[in-house]
Amino acid sequence: MCGLLGFLTSDTAAPKTVERVYDALHCVRHRGPDERGTWHDDQLIFGFNRLSIIDIEHSHQPLRWGPADDPERYALTFNGEIYNYLELREELAREHAAEFGEQPMFATEGDSEAIVAAFHYWGPDAVRRLRGMFAFAIWDTRSRELFLARDPFGIKPLFLATGPGGTAFGSEKKSLLELLPDLGLDESLDHRALEHYTVLQYVPEPETLHAGIRRLESGSYAVVRPGERPVTTRYFVPTFGVRPFAAGSEAARYSEIAAALEDSVAKHMRADVTVGSFLSGGIDSTAIAALAMRHNPNLITFTTGFEREGYSEVDVAAESAAAIGARHIVKVVSPAEFAAAIPEIVWYLDDPVADPALVPLYFVAKEARKHVKVVLSGEGADELFGGYTIYREPLSLAPFDKLPGGLRRLAGKVSDLIPEGTRGKSLLHRGSLPLEQRYYGNARSFSDAQLRSVLREFRPEWTHQDVTAPIYDRSAGWDPVTRMQHLDLFTWLRGDILVKADKVTMANSLELRVPFLDTEVFRVAEQIPLEQKITKETTKYALRQALEGIVPGHVLHRAKLGFPVPLRHWLRGTELYDWARQQITESQTDHLLDKAAVMAMLDAHRAGDGDHSRRLWTLLVFMIWHGIFVEDRIKPEIAEPIYPVQV
């Protein structure tokens, strides 16, 4: 797990830019505090900050590799982990031996050489063979082509900026901001991305809030030649239900799910450093921790919570840790700590993410880094196995599907006449809409009317359907629940869940691994029929059945909670109200936001006139982001990453 940065020039002036690339690496030093290095030729520069996890004494980057007849043909820089690297190395060694006999193929014991060797022998299709999380760049010194790739689910980030001066790419956007002048680009704001953010609570891929910087999308690779724009190809197109389980007993199906997950956890435990596990009170993280205990009986688990009743799973997590026999560490976050950490966290995020759960995640990562260098976590289970409560909505809205179009539209008009807050209004409104219009992921923030009241430049033609329509097109004909899962893989998962998981753990130089998001686990999950995912009584039905005997009984059928934040209460009380007023007052976003309307929303929330907490949080996080990256008014103190590990 590391931070990469690169620059492909349009000419042969790369050596002139090496020093600026090296300097830009400093702002992403938290991703790899163990060592820093650069490599360049006349057209390309690679920079790298390393967090040493596997083959610690070797596997330095940027890495040079080539076959026996051209041993330095390729240069590689790579962020992530390839969990099947041992199996790949064996297979590749056989291919190399068939061509060159017994000449040595690898100089290290790590996974980096496996990537570039796989690319040499299998070309771009090599990415389909990699089980892991990755963003990497390979420079072919012979063909003068740059190959960039990202893992199937988007666990690891990769930002791109292309201008007259060339193409820059990196693990974090802030490092590319320092290179924009070399590319001939400026730092202009992307107003459409801002509108998408206010609705979705995150900036959807491939957008960023800087118009000149995009993201290579999850499950994609790109080829770049000097002086040309990247040519992108999607190699991973997830499908559900195309390959249903073979006929057989349900017990066999559950056994296959459990076996796939156990194999994934086993491979995710591969490391030359200590691996711990995050542990909330839910089934997902508990399953991962329980399976990890089979490989490390001394496993340490970590959880976080708040002192307010109903907003902490500390007790449940402690009970789970005791049940599986893990050593358990708890971090309780106070409102004062919460508020004080926001600017620093937003700086690490690169783009705003209005999910308050990332704050407790940041603190539990900071605590975990005192003890371990790697943690496992349960992200991805809800999207793969049908875990969100909202996935049950098609069951409640099924009667609307039987109505003629005219009656369905009439239900929508009736809902418009019902006062806000009246029971049944939302049901009528959502039932009147087709799935493509009513569901745009787990984030539900501003309505058009609310956006008009706060955005200075509201453009009604910029809607969530800009993001969701192409995704829905790929799932036409599937059942509604499966379409919602598929949509979340490309929206909520990679826009919110994985961004916060990567950014706040790497902020603490901690590697986070997510065993549910493994291609072999997905292969099993995609075969689960609808009735085995969502029932009237529960979510993730098949997964819960598969985890009988693995997850303690007090968790197995417990409702999902995660790391909840008492934001609604804090913004009404002394904890965050004054802090929020200060952010609004000092923000220099008047040209973008109607600050008087935002202040009125805050006061209405405090008076109990509706729950505006998530909308307020969305705007507050943006104001802080703007204060850091645009106004240069807020200057978080980013400490040097020093981590004495406590055993």
Task: Report which secondary-structure segment, H or E, holds 214.
Answer: strand 214-215
Q: What positions carry a catalytic annotation?
A: 2
The reply to whether omega before 206 is within 30° of 0 (cis) is yes
Residue 647: per-residue pLDDT: 40
Assign domain 2-234 to a CATH class. alpha beta
**Does residue 531 come out as left (phi exceeding 0), alpha (psi in the -120 to 50 range) or beta?**
alpha
Kindly give the residue spans of alpha helices, DSSP state H, lying in 269-380.
283-293, 314-324, 335-349, 358-368
Helical axes 613-629 vs 577-586, angle rounded to 10°? 40
What are the residue ranges spanned by the domains of the chain? 2-234, 250-387+490-556, 567-629
Place of tokens 């995710």: 268
Phi, psi of 339, deg, nearest 5: -65, -40
Residue 225 CA to residue 10 CA, distance in Å, equals 8
Q: Is the CB of residue 147 less than 8 Å from the CB of residue 140?
A: yes
Query: Buried (b) or exposed (e) across 389-421, using 16+ Cβ within 10 A?
Result: eebbbbeebeebeeeeeeebeebeeebeeeeee
Residue 240: per-residue pLDDT: 85
Structure tokens given for 411: 């239900």
Helical axes 314-324 vs 283-293, angle rounded to 10°? 30
The reply to whether omega before 434 is within 30° of 0 (cis) is no
- 111 labeled binding residue: yes
Q: 377 vs 35, 293, 341, 499, 557, CA distance in Å? A: 26, 13, 22, 14, 19
Coil, strand or helix at 65: strand
Which residues are CB-contacts of 547 (< 8 A; sequence separation ≥ 6)?
A: 258, 283, 287, 556
Query: Buried (b) or exposed (e) across 553-577, using 16+ Cβ within 10 A?
Result: eebbebebebbbbbbbbbbbeebbb
Helical axes 613-629 vs 595-606, angle rounded to 10°? 140
445 CB-side CA count, 13 A? 23
Residue 159 CA to residue 182 CA, distance in Å, equals 16
Cα dihedral sign, 246-248-254-255: negative
* pLDDT profile of the chain (647 residues), mean per 10: 92 91 94 94 96 92 94 97 97 92 89 97 97 98 98 98 97 97 96 95 97 98 97 94 71 94 98 95 95 96 86 85 96 93 97 95 96 97 95 90 84 83 83 91 80 92 92 94 96 97 97 98 94 92 96 84 82 96 98 97 95 96 98 93 57
Q: Is the CB of residue 455 less than 8 Å from the CB of residue 192?
A: no
Residue 561: per-residue pLDDT: 62
Judging by beta carbons within 10 Å of its beta carbon (0-12, 13-18, 19+), is residue 274 exposed, middle or buried? middle
Residue 312: per-residue pLDDT: 72
Helical axes 283-293 vs 250-268, angle rounded to 10°? 70
Chain centre distance of CA 473: 23
Give 137's strand partners: 77, 148
- 264 labeled binding residue: no
Which residues are CB-contacts of 17 (< 8 A; sequence separation ≥ 6)?
A: 7, 9, 45, 179, 182
Residue 616: per-residue pLDDT: 97
Phi, psi of 47, deg, nearest 5: -125, 150
Query: Buried (b) or exposed (e) across 605-638, using 16+ Cβ within 10 A?
Result: beeeeeebbbbbbbbbbbbbbbbbbeeeebebee
Identity of the amino acid at 538: T
Residue 562: per-residue pLDDT: 59
CATH no., domain 250-387+490-556: 3.40.50.620
Residue 523: per-residue pLDDT: 95
Question: Which residue, 374, 286, 383, 356, is CA-closest to 328?
Answer: 286
Task: Report which secondary-structure segment, H or E, holds 411.
Answer: helix 405-417
Q: 0.85 exceeded by the pTM?
A: yes
**The pairing of beta strand 300-305 with beta strand 275-278:** parallel
Count of Cβ atoms closer than 10 Å to residue 12 Cβ:
11
Place of tokens 């959807």: 204
Question: Which residue, 475, 383, 446, is CA-closest to 618?
Answer: 446
- Structural Rg of the chain based on CA atoms: 25
Q: 623 vs 202, 288, 319, 350, 593, CA distance in Å? A: 14, 37, 40, 13, 9
